[in-house]
């Protein structure tokens, strides 16, 4: 017995491009993380990491966190296309992807 959609061509939802998203407010990953987690103090290192990863200007406190955990200087205005993180248990691995673009 065939299902309800048997014989119908598949339709795929088109992805939104930048023009379609121009009316939306663009948020940095650090802002989205704060929105998802409530911005608690325990999330501050992740926030500093995301700001540096996206090439945002780092405050002196953010720069101290970045220098303590990264072995490269941040690239203001450029950022990094990808990063690899070694994280342990309860490090926010499931919350961080929620804040991705």
Instruction: Inform me whether the pLDDT recorded for 37 exceeds 60.
Output: yes
Residue 19 included in any domain: no
92 lies in a domain? yes
Higher pLDDT, 48 or 2: 48
Rounded Cα distance, 29 and 79, in Å = 12
Q: Is residue 9 part of a domain?
A: no
Residue 22 domain flag: no
What is the model's pLDDT at position 16? 57
91 located within any domain: yes
Whether residue 14 is contained in a domain is answered as: no
Segment 2-36, tens digit of pLDDT: 666 677 776 666 665 656 555 556 777 788 778 77
pTM above 0.75, yes or no: no
**In this structure, is residue 21 part of a structural domain?**
no
Which residue, 46, 16, 19, is CA-closest to 30?
46
Q: What residue numbers bound the domain in which 61 lies?
A: 29-99
Q: Does 99 have pLDDT greater than 70?
A: no
Please give the Cα distance from 52 to 30 (Å, whole number). 10
In this predicted structure, the answer to whether residue 47 has a pLDDT above a threshold of 60 is yes
Contact 29, 54 (CB under 8 A): yes
Total domains in the chain come to 1
Per-residue model confidence as pLDDT tens digits over 55-86: 888 899 989 999 998 888 888 888 888 888 77
Residue 48 reports pLDDT greater than 80:
yes
Does residue 7 come out as left (phi exceeding 0), alpha (psi in the -120 to 50 range) or beta? left
């Amino acid at each position: 017995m065939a299902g309800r959609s048997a014989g119908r061509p598949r339709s795929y939802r088109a992805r939104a491009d930048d023009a379609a998203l121009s009316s939306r407010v663009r948020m940095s990953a650090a802002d989205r993380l704060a929105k998802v987690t409530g911005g608690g103090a325990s999330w501050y290192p992740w926030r500093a990491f995301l700001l540096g990863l996206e090439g945002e200007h780092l405050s002196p406190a953010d720069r101290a966190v970045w220098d303590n955990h990264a072995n490269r200087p941040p690239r203001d205005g450029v950022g990094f296309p990808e990063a690899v993180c070694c994280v342990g248990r309860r490090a926010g691995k499931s919350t961080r992807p929620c804040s991705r673009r």
